Structure 1
Amino acid sequence: MRCTPELPVRVLTHNIRYATSSPFKGEVPWEQRKQLLLNELGYHTRHVSGTFICLQEVLHRQLEDILVGLNPRTASSAPDWAYIGVGRDDGHQAGEYSPIFYRPSVWKLLHWETVWLSKTPSKPSKSWDAASIRIVTIGVFTHCESGNTVLAMSTHLDDQGSQSRLEAARIIRAKIHGYRQGEFGTLIGGAFLAGDLNSQEDQEAYSDLTGSGDLEDTFKLVDSSRRYGSHNTFTGFGYENEPPSRIDYVLLASGGNQAWKVDGYSVMANRFDDGVFNSDHCAVIADLRLVG
């Protein structure tokens, strides 16, 4: 397999806040937020072809809005962007997605699956102390030009259950090991996990994922001179009783003869001079190179 020594990859992860019919104080409806979100996604992917967009809290109608926004009508019949993922409640369209968007002209999808973060991971379910059904979306992608292969994961862990977050982290680590030892193991050069862990650095899920040595935090892999923006990734809409915190991450796992290098890390603003929060979370962007 031909392999370039350095494959640039951008990972953007954003909990976009589901389209609720009962907005919080300080929150505007999805119909007013969606174009701001689409502008963000368009700007940060316009000149970086190898970008993965990992989103959380996406209802099906939001998914459709994002697909239309990312794929404006042109003379070409082939859409620029596609996605993998399902609604967590029924494995089809019900409930929140944690989708991964990618460009089919850049990445060839070899395999994907949704795993429920429960005792029954093959079907919609929740376990332990989880307040909601939780999932991780997993895809194996080969770069069309170079032949390098990446294992991509997008997730949103429970906001209430500490035990469920810990068990979810263990399931995710086990899936990474399983892919390394399975059908695609000899192909996968690097893996990443992106999403909202609802876990700060001293809490269970983050500690298990990074303390195991399986995954590393992009924030900590890059010099401070190459970080941009805020530290905290959760802001709320301005009236919550909880302080801002860092709970959204891009975590990396290298493997085989290839390794990740981090060129840049940023936490983007989620409100500008219009005063509108496009979400209660900020987008996190990691600029990476797969070296081997």
Structure 2
Amino acid sequence: MRSAPELPVRVLTHNIRYATSSPVKGELRWAQRKQRLLNELEYHTRHVGDTFICLQEVLHSQLEDIHAGLNPGAVSSVLDWAFIGVGRDDGYQAGEYSPIFYRPSVWDLQGWETVWLSETPSKPSKGWDAACIRIVTIGVFTHRGSGNTVLAMNAHLDHRGSRSRLEAARIIRAKIHEYRQGKFGRLIAGTLLAGDLNSQEDQEAYSDLTGSGDLQDTYRLVDTSRRYGNHNTFTGFGYEKEPPSRIDYVLLASEGSQTWRVDGYSVMANRFDDGIFDSDHCAVIADLRLVG
């Protein structure tokens, strides 16, 4: 692996809540929430070009809204933001996406895939005791300025099936090892996994991913005095029976001689003084540096 200049990276992950036709108590429809979320994405990426935006629970109509909102007035040949990802139900446009948005002017996409977190990971499928089909979106990106290559992953694990979450974590770790041994292995300088794991720190998926030594939690890699915002990342819309919890993460793996440093970690508010929730999850933002 060749050495490369230091690379700052911002990772923003947010479960935006799918555009349901039957809102729960305390929830507004997507048409009333979407501009708030677009403003959030624009604000946190406006002057940070090296950002990955990792979203979960995104239906195709929401994907179109977000893509258009991030590229106001742009023509298709000159887009500021692009994305990778597919709908989980058919591998095309049906069901929820877990897309990764990136700026093509900053990142050169080397390759990408969607992996189903099931016994048949190469095709749309539901695994083990999962209530829903679950996926991880994987991309290999080379930074045009520094030459560093990053393996970026965005996952949404099941909210009910404990076995499926554990097996999903194992699939994700296996994919990391596969990429390390594959054609991009000599290029990859750092790996990141963002997303909604539906797993608290003492539960199966988090324990497997971090306890294996493959990945580290950005929350744990930054001094407590430098964390900002909330602790919990899931809030609900104010009327759910389950309590708030930390289930959304940015996890990291260093590769070879290069190492991730965490400059900042934050859990942003999802409700302001008007009392409206933009989602039942908060955005998690990690500011990183890849150093040689």
Which TM-score applies when normalising by structure 2? 0.98
Kindly indicate whether residue 256 of structure 2 is the aligned counterpart of residue 262 of structure 1. Answer: no
Cα distance change, pair 172–273 in 1 and its aligned pair in 2 (3 A): same
Q: Report the equivalent of 1:68.
A: 68
Cα distance change, pair 162–76 in 1 and its aligned pair in 2 (3 A): closer
State whether residues 6 and 289 of structure 2, in contact with CA within 8 Å, keep that contact through their aligned partners in structure 1.
Answer: yes
Q: What SS does the aligned partner of 2:174 have? A: helix
Distance in structure 2 (CA, Å) of the matches to 1:189 and 1:197: 24
Cα distance change, pair 211–75 in 1 and its aligned pair in 2 (3 A): closer
Distance in structure 1 (CA, Å) of the matches to 2:142 and 2:69: 25
Q: Give how far 1:4 is off.
A: 4.0
Distance in structure 2 (CA, Å) of the matches to 1:241 and 1:229: 23
State whether residues 5 and 146 of structure 2, in contact with CA within 8 Å, keep that contact through their aligned partners in structure 1.
Answer: no
Q: How many residues align?
A: 292
State whether residues 110 and 139 of structure 1, in contact with CA within 8 Å, keep that contact through their aligned partners in structure 2.
Answer: yes
Q: Give how far 1:5 is off.
A: 3.4
Query: Could you list the runs of 5+ residues in structure 2 that have no partner in the other structure?
Result: none
Q: Report the equivalent of 2:113.
A: 113
Q: Report the equivalent of 2:144.
A: 144
State whether residues 2 and 146 of structure 1, in contact with CA within 8 Å, keep that contact through their aligned partners in structure 2.
Answer: no
Range with bigger deviation, 5-14 or 29-38: 5-14
| Amino acid corresponding to residue 229 of structure 1 in structure 2 | G
Distance in structure 2 (CA, Å) of the matches to 1:72 and 1:83: 15
Q: Report the equivalent of 2:222.
A: 222
Q: Give how far 1:138 is off.
A: 0.0
Q: Report the equivalent of 2:180.
A: 180
Distance in structure 1 (CA, Å) of the matches to 2:170 and 2:264: 28
Q: What SS does the aligned partner of 1:175 have? A: helix
Matches within 5 A, 1:28-177: 28-74=28-74, 77-177=77-177
Q: Give how far 1:246 is off.
A: 0.1
Q: Give how far 1:225 is off.
A: 1.6
Distance in structure 1 (CA, Å) of the matches to 2:127 and 2:117: 8
Kindly indicate whether residue 203 of structure 2 is the aligned counterpart of residue 203 of structure 1. Answer: yes
* 1:24-81 residue CA offsets vs partner (Å, 9 max, x unmatched): 1000000000000000000000011000000000000000000010001058950100
Query: Could you list the runs of 5+ residues in structure 1 that have no partner in the other structure?
Result: none
Q: CA RMSD in A?
A: 1.2
Distance in structure 2 (CA, Å) of the matches to 1:289 and 1:23: 39
Distance in structure 2 (CA, Å) of the matches to 1:13 and 1:31: 21
State whether residues 12 and 52 of structure 2, in contact with CA within 8 Å, keep that contact through their aligned partners in structure 1.
Answer: yes
Q: Report the equivalent of 1:15.
A: 15
Distance in structure 2 (CA, Å) of the matches to 1:122 and 1:253: 24
Distance in structure 2 (CA, Å) of the matches to 1:192 and 1:120: 24
